[in-house]
Structure 1
């Protein structure tokens, strides 16, 4: 779907929903912020995402809870339920089991891994690639765990500055389809003269990609800077902070390897679920892609 100014307004509402995932959902207020009646807002929102605004926010709350259960072992289930906007532990327990087919306790004790592998399948292996349509072998190849310590040895934790992004949002696409869509977006923007060859591009995912099925993928892809206004693009600021970064060149590493070979094995850092996963990519003079993956982290 080609974005329009109408869709760009919905982007802003969706970002507001993400930022306030623990707050009560006031559909009337969300609609007003996008300059729509409640009826028209919900209809347009469903056209864009495939879900009603209420269902979309419920799924996001549950995925945020799943994220916290995995990465915040010291926080109680009750506290996580409250922080994710559920009025009671009973309501959370029922909703969580409906979504993930297991209790929150079972999920925290390792059930998340079986869900990721069995329910989401290959999508749990996918990071954010930008490959030409005639070079998809790396994306279609099955995930191979790295040699123990090989990825961890390459990771550096550093403070990244805020990045002002102009982006297109992709829904319901992942793997090769998403890769081709991003490459098409790059080619289109270069043809329009919005960007020059060699421009850095940023891919952004606000949730754990391993817990999000293809229908629910929401991925932002764009470029930094304040070029001439374009109502077809959304704008957002990627927050500054500490990120675990993995440089790459001539390869397409996966966030999964960063989780499994580094994050799950060390004691000083843990994931910060309030900030997004980021990928930076740029094409060199030789035509090869290079860049980095960045996991948002905070001290334990």
Structure 2
């Protein structure tokens, strides 16, 4: 049994290596021959193996991954022209890009840019999430008290991207918490798997030096308190941080003899998608602890 489990993990690692390579090299020529060499699989069996593992064929996987990046570029990179996003997604022309986009997401790219329907996006986008890296090393650190500008998201997790767009709009308009120089945090009050969608709470935060004045986006000033925290480092998509969060709460905490402070788990996003590929996202997960 142990040997079979080891073989299974090795197989999964090879398939994930292919998926990682695709996500990190979306602008390159992702030929089957090249992907087979990455996976160390025979090209005569690769298509079936890949489809069995991901649920879609390799060409569809590549297209869907490029379209996901295009969605985030449309929503959060207003400086990019739609025609350039289409070509970057490897479509021959804007028309074919628009047809494929609307067929999958129910909106034209121009409509999505103006008013993205993220709940519909989550319903229609079906692609296995990349696994996060499995390193579970925990470090105890002293977090420094940090003043933050906060947009309070309240409602289904599927609409969180709408709140992100509002927060980005405030950052650009105010100049008080620019993404390039300010630290970006998220305060996770609730677990979306155990919380009714209408009750889900999440704060989008950017560090600031001064209190935030009244603004049309509803951004307010809060403080992330200083103190001891357990930190675990996550590399990969935000959607697959759950394993590390559950490890912190379910395994590490009971064995550590530590006690939690009255403050939620929070995240420090060291970079963001689509600025970097999803497999290169880096997030520190903080669990606030009482003084020793």
In the TM superposition, 1:191-206 aligns within 5 A as: 197=256
Superposed CA offset, 1:200-223 (max 9, x none): xxxxxxxxxxxxxxxxxxxxxxxx
Q: C-alpha displacement at 1:61, in angstroms?
A: 0.7
2:50 is matched with which residue?
45
Q: Do residues 143 (structure 1) and 200 (structure 2) align?
A: yes
2:18 is matched with which residue?
13
Q: Do residues 250 (structure 1) and 245 (structure 2) align?
A: no
* 20 and 89 in structure 1: CA distance in 2 versus 1, 3 angstrom threshold: same
Between the aligned partners of 1:249 and 1:57, the Cα distance in structure 2 is: 44
Superposed CA offset, 1:58-112 (max 9, x none): 11111111111112212211111111222222221221111111111111111x1
Match for 2:68 among 63, 71, 75? 63
Match for 1:97 among 68, 85, 102? 102
Q: Do residues 32 (structure 1) and 32 (structure 2) align?
A: no
Larger radius of gyration: 2
User: How high is the TM-score relative to the length of structure 2?
Assistant: 0.52
* 271 and 186 in structure 1: CA distance in 2 versus 1, 3 angstrom threshold: closer
Q: C-alpha displacement at 1:36, in angstroms?
A: 0.6
- Structure 2: runs of 5+ lacking an equivalent: 124-155, 161-185, 204-216, 225-231
Contact 1:138–1:252 (CA under 8 A) maintained in structure 2: no
* 107 and 32 in structure 1: CA distance in 2 versus 1, 3 angstrom threshold: same
Match for 2:158 among 112, 115, 124? 124
1:281 is matched with which residue?
285
- Structure 1: runs of 5+ lacking an equivalent: 156-162, 191-195, 199-247, 259-269, 288-300
Between the aligned partners of 2:97 and 2:29, the Cα distance in structure 1 is: 14
* 166 and 40 in structure 1: CA distance in 2 versus 1, 3 angstrom threshold: farther
Contact 1:42–1:53 (CA under 8 A) maintained in structure 2: yes
Q: Relative CO higher for 1 or 2, CA cutoff 8 Å, sep ≥ 6? A: 1
Aligned residue pair count: 202
Query: After alignment, is 272-281 or 94-103 more displaced?
Result: 272-281
Between the aligned partners of 1:4 and 1:144, the Cα distance in structure 2 is: 36
Secondary structure of the corresponding residue to residue 38 of structure 1: coil
Between the aligned partners of 2:263 and 2:111, the Cα distance in structure 1 is: 39
Secondary structure of the corresponding residue to residue 41 of structure 2: coil
Aligned-pair Cα RMSD in Å: 4.7
